[in-house]
Amino acid sequence: MIDPAPTLKETASQTAGPYVHIGLAPKQAGFEIFEKNFSNVLVGPRTKGERIRIEGRVIDGSGTPLRDVLLEIWQANAAGRYNHPADRQAKPIDPTFRGWGRACSDFETGVYAFDTIKPGSVMGRRGRPMAPHINFWLVARGINLGLATRMYFSDETAANAKDPVLNLIEWEVRRKTLIAQREERRGKIVYRFDIRIQGPDETVFFDV
C-alpha cells in the first residue's frame, strides 16, 4: 500500500505558559470548577501490579527546579499491555488501569509525583522486547514544544541492557539519565526520577 502524501500541516505548538494549571489542573491553580478531575493517581484498589510512587523534579539550565511544569505519563499495565485498541499483544487488559496520569510540580519545592504500578515489558519493533518503562511528556512556560522522554527502572539492569531504545542512544553515559533509582521509604517503593532540561547531565529527550 502506498502511503498517502500528507495534505495538511501539523498545527504549530506554543508554550503552555505559566498558568497551564488553570486548564489542565484547576485545583492546583486554586479553584474548583469540574466535578471530576484528572490526577496523578493512576491506580485503583483492584489494579494489578506492584504499587510504586514516582517522584522527582524538572531542573533548568541553572540548576533551578521548575515550579510550574506539567507532566503526563503513559504506560502499560503490569502484564505489559497498553489499554488502547492499537495494542493487540496477547496479554490481559486491566480494566481498572488506563495507564495515564497528569501531575504538576509543587509551587514551592518543584517536586512532582505519580502513584502508579510498575509496568510489564512491552514488545518492541521487530520482536525485540522493551524493558519496562514509562513514557513522559512535559510542558511549561519557556518550553515551546512539549518534551518527550522515557523513564526506566534501576532494578531492571538485564532488561535495560538489551532495551532497543536505550541502545539507540549512542553515548552510553547519557543512557543513565533515563534510569529512575529505586528506594524504599517506610515500606513504600519510590522511584526517583529527576529530569534535567539542560546542563552536563541533560536528560535524553526523544523526537518520537
Scan residues 79-98 and list those touching other proteins (CB under 8 A): 82-90, 98
41 binding other proteins? (CB under 8 A): no
What's the grid cell of residue 192? 526517583
CB 178 within 8 A of CB 152: yes
Closer residue to other proteins in complex, CB, 23/44? 23
C-alpha atoms less than 13 angstroms from C-alpha of 119 in its C-beta half-sphere: 30
Closer residue to other proteins in complex, CB, 20/54? 20
Alpha carbons 150 and 73: distance in angstroms, whole number = 9
Residue type present at position 19:
Y
By CB under 8 A, name the one of 34, 46, 172, 184 that touches other proteins.
Answer: 34
Residue ranges in 145-204 that form contacts with other proteins under rule CB under 8 A:
145-148, 150, 164-165, 168-169, 174, 197-198, 202-204
By CB under 8 A, name the one of 24, 79, 93, 189 that touches other proteins.
Answer: 24
CB 52 within 8 A of CB 118: yes
H or E, element range at 56: strand 51-59
3 state DSSP class of 184:
strand
Closer residue to other proteins in complex, CB, 55/163? 163
Residue ranges in 104-143 that form contacts with other proteins under rule CB under 8 A:
107, 122-127, 130, 133, 135, 137, 139-143
21 binding other proteins? (CB under 8 A): yes
